[in-house]
Structure 1
Amino acid sequence: MDKLDCMRTFAAVAGQSSFTAGARQIGISTKLASKYVARLEAQIGAQLLNRTTRKVTLTDTGKAYLDRCLPLLDQFDELEDVVQQRQHDLAGPIRITAPTGFGSRELVEALQPFQQAHPKVSVELVLSDRHLPILEEGVDLAVRFGALKDSTLVARKLCAMRLVVVASPDYLAAQGEPAGPEALASRNCLLQMTSPQPDAWSFGRGSAQRTVTVGGSFRANSPRAVAHMAAGGLGIARCPYYTAVPFLRDGRLQVLFEKQETDPITLYAVYPPSRHLTARIRALIDHLSGYFGPR
C-alpha cells in the first residue's frame, strides 16, 4: 500500500468531509478509502479524522497534517508533469463538467481529437445543467457559459457565442413575421430557463440596448430543447447559436432581428486556483481554446 495513495485518499476525504464522496472523487471504493486512511493514521501514530455516522471532520492533528500534505501532493504532480513534458507523453485522469446540451455534442466533438492525440489521458465528463461546485466535487475543469460568479475560481475565455432569435418558416407563414422585437410581447415565445432572466430578452448593444418582456406555452432548462420546439413550429425562441445551427442548415429555422442581436455570451474554461496546474489540464485548456476560438 503506497503512502502517497494514502495521502491522496486522506486529502480527498478531508476535502469532501465524507469517505463516500472522497472515494468517488479519486475513483476508488469507500471500503478502500477507509483502509487507506486507517493505514496512514497507523503509520504516523495519530488520529487524523473524527468519524461519525453523519460527517467526517478533521482533528487538530489532521488539520496540521493536511496543510503540509497538500503542497507535497502538488509537488509530486509537478514532478510527474516534468517527466511527461520531457517524454511528450501526457497521462492521467481529468474530470470535466459541462452543460448537458453543449457537453453532449459540441464538447464531446472537441475532446475526441485531444484524446486521440493523448491516449494515456483518461477523461471523465460529468454533464449537468446546474453549476457543480468544483472543489467539493473534485472537478479539474468546468466548461461554462456566462460571467464567472465565483471569484475564487479562474476562468479562461474560449469563445463568444451569439444569442439568436429563431422561428420556423411554417410558424412565420401561419402567424406572420413580427415587425420588430417589441412585437414579441404578444407572441408565443419559448423560454430557456437556464438564462438569468428567461422572460426578458435584450436587443441591441450599449446605450441602444432595450429589453422586451416575453412569455409563452413552453419552457425548458435545455437550450437545445427550446431550439427543437421552435423548429417544430410551436413559437419563437432565443437560444445560443450552436443549438440552432442544425435547423438553420436544413431550413427548419431562420434567424430574426439579426442586426439587433444583443451581446454574445462567453464560453469559459473554469478551474480552481492552484500553485500548480498539471500539464495535461493545461494542454486540454489550450486545445479547447484553439478548437472553439476560430468558431
Structure 2
Amino acid sequence: MDKIDRMRAFALVAKNASFTIAAQRMGRSARLVSKYVADLENALGVQLLNRTTRSVTLTDAGATYLALCAPLLDGFDELEEKVRNEQASLRGAIHMSAPTGFGALRLVPSLARFAEKHPNVELDLKFSDRRVSIVDEGLDLAVRIGPMRDSSLKVRQLGRMPLVVCASPAYLKHAGTPSHPQALATHECILDGNMTEPTVWRFMINGQEEAVQVNGRFRMNAPAGSARLAAAGAAIARCPAYTVADALKAGDLVELFAEQRVSPYVVAALFPHNRHLTARVRALIDHLADDPALCADGRD
C-alpha cells in the first residue's frame, strides 16, 4: 500500500473530522480510507485519531504528525504539478477564507477573473468575519482586511484600504456640514466596534496625522451596516472605501475631508510559515496583488 495514500487519507480525515468526506475527496470508499489510517497507525505504533460514533478528533501524536506530513503532501503535489507542466495549466483545489463583506464585494469578482484564466483550478471560499485558524481548518490561505496581528503567519500585502468619512445629503442638510475634522466632535458619529479606539478618528492635517475625538449613539462591528445607517441619514460614518464606493457614486453618501484620508487598513493574504505553497496558490496570490480593482478606493 502506498505510504502517500495513507498520509493523504489521514490528513483529509483530520482536516475534515470525517472519514466520509475524506473518502469523497480521495475518490475511495470510507471503508478503504479507514483501513489506510489504521495501517498508518499500525506502522507508526501510535494512535493518531480518537474515534467515536459522533466525532473524529486528533490525539496529541496525531496533531504532531499532521503538522509534519502536511508540508510533505504539499511538496508532493507541487512535484506532480511541475512534472505535468502545470505552471502553464494549473489544476487542483485552493481552500481559502475571507471576511463576508469584503469577500463578497471585492474578492469574488477578482476570483472570477482568476478562474477564467485557470479553468482547472477549483476555488473553495469560506466567508467568515471571525479570525479563522488557517492551520486548524485546513486552509491554504486567508484574505484579511484590517490591522495584521497574527505573527505566526506569513503575510503578503495586497494593498491598502483607506477609511472614508461620509454622510448622506439629508443628514448634512439637517445637521450642517462640518468644516474641519475637529468639528466632528459636535456631530452624531457611528462608532466602529472593531477598532481598538472607536471614539478616535485620525486624519492627515497639515501633513501630520492627528486624532479627533468623536462620539455617538450608534456602535457597530460591521462596516456595511455603518454605511447603510449613514445613507439613511442617521449619522456620520467612517468606513473602508470598498463599502461606500457605490453609494458615493450614486450620491447617496457624500465624502467629507477627502484630502485628509488615512489608510490604516491593510488587505493581505496570510498563509502558514511552514507551508510550501503550491504553484496554484502562488499564482492566486500574485493575481490578487496585481488586481487594481481589489483595493480600489472608489475615487474617479
- TM range, smaller chain: 0.7 to 0.9
Asked whether the equivalents of residues 191 and 219 of structure 1 are also in contact (C-alpha less than 8 Å), the reply is: yes
Asked whether the equivalents of residues 167 and 255 of structure 1 are also in contact (C-alpha less than 8 Å), the reply is: yes
Q: Where do 1:53-132 residues align within 5 Å?
A: 53=52, 56-58=57-59, 69-86=69-86, 88-132=88-132
Q: Where do 1:58-207 residues align within 5 Å?
A: 58=59, 69-86=69-86, 88-204=88-204
| Residue range with higher mean Cα deviation, 102-111 or 186-195 | 186-195
Quick one: which amino acid aligns to residue 19 of structure 1?
A
Structure 2 segments unaligned to the other structure (5+ residues):
none
Partners of 2:64 and 2:128 lie apart in 1 by: 35
In the superposition, relative to structure 1, how do residues 5 and 229 fare at CA in structure 2: closer, same or farther (>3 Å)? farther
Q: What is the Cα-based RMSD across aligned positions, in Å?
A: 3.2
* One of 16, 19, 22 as aligned partner of 2:17: 19
Q: CA deviation at 1:56?
A: 3.4
Q: Which residue of 1 aligns with 2:47?
A: 48
Q: CA deviation at 1:212?
A: 2.4
Partners of 1:241 and 1:26 lie apart in 2 by: 43
Q: Counterpart of 2:179 in 1: which secondary structure?
A: coil
Q: Counterpart of 1:135 in 2: which secondary structure?
A: coil
Quick one: which amino acid aligns to residue 103 of structure 1?
G
- Aligned pair 1:287/2:287, yes or no? yes
Give the number of the structure whose residues are more often helix, by fraction.
Answer: 1
Partners of 2:47 and 2:132 lie apart in 1 by: 28
Q: CA deviation at 1:181?
A: 1.8
Deviations along 1:70-104, whole A, 9 cap, x unmatched?
45413311212203545621111111111111101
Q: How many equivalent pairs are there?
A: 290
Asked whether the equivalents of residues 129 and 222 of structure 1 are also in contact (C-alpha less than 8 Å), the reply is: no
Q: Counterpart of 2:263 in 1: which secondary structure?
A: coil
In the superposition, relative to structure 1, how do residues 204 and 23 fare at CA in structure 2: closer, same or farther (>3 Å)? farther
Runs of 4 or more, structure 1, over 4 Å off, are 22-29, 31-35, 52-55, 62-68
| Residue range with higher mean Cα deviation, 271-280 or 243-252 | 271-280
Partners of 2:7 and 2:272 lie apart in 1 by: 20
Deviations along 1:149-186, whole A, 9 cap, x unmatched?
12121111111111110011111011101132222223
Q: Counterpart of 1:136 in 2: which secondary structure?
A: coil
| TM, length-normalised to structure 2 | 0.83
Asked whether the equivalents of residues 9 and 22 of structure 2 are also in contact (C-alpha less than 8 Å), the reply is: no
| TM, length-normalised to structure 1 | 0.84
Q: CA deviation at 1:63?
A: 7.3
Deviations along 1:96-128, whole A, 9 cap, x unmatched?
111111101211110111111111111111111
| Residue range with higher mean Cα deviation, 36-45 or 108-117 | 36-45
Quick one: which amino acid aligns to residue 50 of structure 2?
R
| Residue range with higher mean Cα deviation, 253-262 or 214-223 | 214-223
Q: Which residue of 2 aligns with 1:247?
A: 247
| Residue range with higher mean Cα deviation, 282-291 or 144-153 | 144-153
In the superposition, relative to structure 1, how do residues 119 and 138 fare at CA in structure 2: closer, same or farther (>3 Å)? same
